[in-house]
A and B are shown apart, each in its own frame.
Chain A
Amino acid sequence: MSKNSATNATTKVSPFVLLIIILTLVLSLTALIIALSTFESNVIAAGWLTLIGALGVVISTYVLLQARRRTQEKIATPPTLTTVECTKCGFKNVREFQRGDYIFKEAEKCEKCGNPTQIAAIYREVKEGHKERYRF
């Protein structure tokens, strides 16, 4: 298998949109900072600034993440393994899948005893990342 994933270059975010998003983010963060320093002297103004700042941060981050996600299009194909087993001594060899492999196909000679081997299994191993735990 030559390529495990492919990326899409057709859906890039325009620099203008990116500039607006970053500008909104900077302004929102500024509003939050000002809100912090104004908190003791003017609570109401600080509250409004916090609200506006927080909203701005949330919206711009969301739009940025959405745009980023769209550019990272790919189809993940985990590697597939082939297990070759000796018909005489039972020696097993696991290697990467090659085009034309199929279960029960005669394969290369055994590394140990030189007798013919055959493909015993073809499978992919799925590495489960963070597994969510449910009570049921």
Chain B
Amino acid sequence: MNLLLAFTSLQNGLMQFPTDIQTILSLVFYLVFILFIFYGQRIQMYVMIREVEGSLYRLKYIKDEGRKTAVETIKEIGKPQTDPTARVDRFLEYFTIAPQNLDPAGIVWKLEHILDIRDDRLKDEVKLMAPAANETQTNNLENTLEAAMALNYIYKIIRHFYLLGKKTLSLYVIMQLQMILPLIMREAEAYASALKAFAYGQPIGDGAGALVAAKLMHGHEIRKLPKDCVGATVQIEGRTAFVIKAEGPGGNVGKPGDAIKTVIDENGGKINMVIMIDAAMKLEGEGVGEVAEGVGAAIGGPGVDQFKIEDSILEYHIPINAVIIKEDIGDAVSPMRKEIYESVDKAIERMKQLILERTKEGDKVIIAGIGNTIGVAQ
């Protein structure tokens, strides 16, 4: 009742002094107009800074969760004698310096050497942190820590530019950051969901290629190939297929470049075709798990293995074909989606069709399933 009375009196007041109110409101309008003329850009910048701040809060939370998951998993699996938190924090700050590229000749081998050192160093660190972990668990822990490391790095870079933009009050620094943030947040969310997958040893979307190879070689005699890869000789449609994948079920991508080169050399270059199967980045609008076919070495990463594969096939002029399973970054590093799992059989069918069309009976074919084989044995 009182509120109604207040409304009525305010209404009466408004009607009694309409000219005064109009004058005040006009003045306010002009003030706001002038304010926006001189400080419009600054206001816009503050709005952007607030938006970036919101994303930074989320990134910080994701990064802290990553660190927590890594520490908890190490404690659970590795049964360390001392608290591993300090060592994990040191690990998260670990960096790798890429080789100098002023003279690019021979850079691939330099890069490979640096990556090998990095890999060995990370594995040693994980073994020290988790002495009770077996090889599979060590690989999974390494992957978990690498995901936490990526999240830590993303957070630090965004924080750096946010603070730099705030300090310098540069619209352009803040604007660039605000524009690119949605894509960065997508990547960070993907790594966040990858953490649990790595910690539990679940197959991830990137392992679709490895799963294709695993399905082909399962039940056949498995032999080890360099480095961290396995292979099996399988008869497919009257052709001899040398199936290759990274050794599972621990988180591992192996070195398919070395494995393919070994098989080619063992057969004296008498290989009629190489088929590579891998998960590939889908474009917006394309369906998850769509299968496509093409030519070339279907393999991601820093490029060392792609270089080696291309080098090996060039030596003997071996045709190379690729079958890809499409997925986005989020699907690639998080637990494998049902659609991707189902597309594995479609990829096998496409590959068989390719073998029938492009080779003759009695020919020799290399089939390489590329990707992280976490949660996929052979």
A residues whose Cβ falls under 8 Å from a Cβ of B: 1, 6, 8, 11, 30, 33-34, 37-38, 41-42, 44-45, 48-49, 66, 69-70, 73, 75-78, 80, 97, 99-105, 121-126, 134, 136
Contacts and interface: CB of A to CB of B under 8 A. Distances in A.
Contacts of A1: 196, 200
B338 A104 contact: no
Interface string B17-48: 01001100100000000000000000000000
Contact of B375 (A48, A70, A103): A103
Nearest to B51: A66
B335 A123 contact: yes
B12 to A, nearest CB: 10
Q: Is the interface of A mostly helix, strand, loop or mixed?
A: loop
Given A73-B57, A77-B196, A122-B203, A102 B375 contact: yes
B11 A123 contact: no
B202 interface: yes
Q: Top 6 nearest A-B pairs by Cβ distance?
A: A102-B249, A104-B377, A123-B341, A124-B335, A73-B61, A123-B338
Contacts, number: 108
Interface of B: 7, 10-11, 14-15, 18, 21-22, 25, 50, 54, 57-58, 61-62, 65, 189, 192-193, 196, 200-203, 211, 214, 218, 248-249, 285, 334-341, 375-378
A37 B203 contact: no
A104 B378 contact: yes
Contacts of B196: 1, 77
Nearest to A1: B200
B151 to A, nearest CB: 11
A66 B218 CA distance: 52
Contact of B337 (A102, A105, A123): A123
